[in-house]
Amino acid sequence: MTEAEPLQFIGANAVRWRSRTLTYFSGCDYFRLARDARLAAAAHKALAQHGLNVAASRRTTGNHKIYTQLEAELAKFFGAETALVLPDGYLAPLAAAQALAEEYTQALIDEYARGALVDAARMLGCPVKRFRHRDAADLQKHLARSKRGARTMVLTDGMFSHDGSVAPLGDYLKVLPANGIMLVDDAHGAGVLGATGKGSLEYAGVGRKQIIQCATMSKAFGVYGGVVLTSRGLRAKILAGGRSFIGTTPLPPPLAGAALAALKILRSEPARRKRLLRNTALVRTKLLTAGWEITETPGPIIRLPAMSGREEGELKGRLLAAEIYPPFLKYPGASAQGVFRFVIASEHSPAQLSQLIAVLTAFKVRRG
Measured from the CB atom, the residue of 189 and 326 that comes closer to ligand PLP is 189
Segment lying near ligand PLP (by CB under 6 A), choices 85-93, 147-155, 175-183, 337-345: 85-93
Alpha-carbon dihedral 21, 23, 24, 30, rounded to 10 degrees: 130
Measured from the CB atom, the residue of 121 and 307 that comes closer to ligand PLP is 121
Measured from the CB atom, the residue of 53 and 61 that comes closer to ligand PLP is 53
- Check residue 90 for interaction with ligand PLP (CB under 6 A): yes
Round to whole Å and give the CA distance between 328 and 316.
Answer: 8
- Check residue 218 for interaction with ligand PLP (CB under 6 A): yes
Report 149-188 residues binding ligand PLP (CB under 6 A).
Answer: 157, 161, 185, 187-188
- Check residue 346 for interaction with ligand PLP (CB under 6 A): no
Closest distance between ligand PLP and the C-beta of residue 224, in Å? 7
Distances (CA, A) of 332 to 111, 122, 159, 189: 11, 18, 16, 19
Round to whole Å and give the CA distance between 41 and 132.
Answer: 45
Find out whether 78 and 202 touch, Cβ atoms under 8 Å: no
- Check residue 226 for interaction with ligand PLP (CB under 6 A): yes
Closest distance between ligand PLP and the C-beta of residue 90, in Å? 4
Q: Which of 216, 244, 248, 280 binds ligand PLP (CB under 6 A)?
A: 216
Measured from the CB atom, the residue of 292 and 328 that comes closer to ligand PLP is 328
Measured from the CB atom, the residue of 226 and 254 that comes closer to ligand PLP is 226
Find out whether 177 and 139 touch, Cβ atoms under 8 Å: no
Round to whole Å and give the CA distance between 362 and 368.
Answer: 10
Q: Angle at which helices 232-241 and 91-99 pack, to 10 degrees? A: 90
Helix, strand, or coil (residue 336): strand
Tell me how many residues contact ligand PLP (CB under 6 A): 13
Closest distance between ligand PLP and the C-beta of residue 12, in Å? 20
Round to whole Å and give the CA distance between 44 and 9.
Answer: 20
Name the site residues for ligand PLP (rule: CB under 6 A).
88-90, 114, 116, 157, 161, 185, 187-188, 216, 218, 226
